[in-house]
């Protein structure tokens, strides 16, 4: 809760919509409206499940695997030529690693001819080879 007594949460998606309300209004609404209470609980549960899944992935999967999964998941965002406009820091944040580790791993992939690196971009040259990394 912020010092102003306002709760706020936002998530960037297509058709983005946001709202804020005072803490007192929120408490009344959650106490009196079963549908709203269910919505809030389901939202929190979903977020918690996402966190647990990410922790499990980080603790049980190699960085190589997580980078490969990142590319598999995000290839649809490429520009049609296999280029993802993303920084090493972005990838590291997404997979739960550090920029330095991601940088080293991406250079290994580049030397293997799997990706081509550029400033703020990664071009996936051989996606079929990524699937072999486990």
In the chain, what percentage of residues exceed pLDDT 70?
81
In sequence order, the β-bridge partners of residue 21 are: 7
Helix (H) or strand (E) holding 58: helix 34-60
Mean pLDDT within 105-112: 92
Mean pLDDT within 55-61: 70
Contact 51, 38 (CB under 8 A): no
**Residue 131 or 124, more confident:** 124
Highest mean pLDDT among 13-27, 55-69, 101-115: 101-115
Nearest CA among 111, 127, 11, 110 for reference residue 70: 127
What would the two tokens of residue 115 be?
């990706």
Write down the pLDDT at residue 60: 65
Using pLDDT thresholds of 50, 70 and 90, give the confidence band for residue 1: very low
Ordered structural domains, the chain, with CATH: 6-58 (no CATH), 62-130 (1.10.10.10)
6-49 pLDDT, tens digit each: 555 556 666 666 778 888 888 999 999 999 999 999 989 988 88
């Amino acid at each position: 809760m912020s010092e102003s007594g306002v709760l706020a949460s936002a998530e960037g998606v297509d058709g983005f919509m946001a709202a804020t309300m005072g803490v007192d209004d929120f408490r009344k609404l959650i106490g009196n409206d079963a549908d709203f209470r269910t919505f809030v609980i389901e939202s929190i549960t979903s977020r918690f499940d996402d966190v647990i899944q990410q922790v499990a992935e980080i603790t049980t999967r190699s960085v190589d695997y997580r980078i490969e999964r990142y590319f598999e998941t995000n290839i649809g965002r490429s520009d049609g030529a296999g280029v993802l406009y993303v920084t090493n820091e972005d990838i590291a944040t997404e997979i739960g690693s550090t920029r330095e580790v991601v940088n080293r791993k991406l250079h290994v992939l580049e030397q293997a001819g799997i990706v081509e690196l550029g400033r703020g971009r990664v071009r996936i040259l051989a996606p079929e080879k990524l699937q072999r990394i486990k």
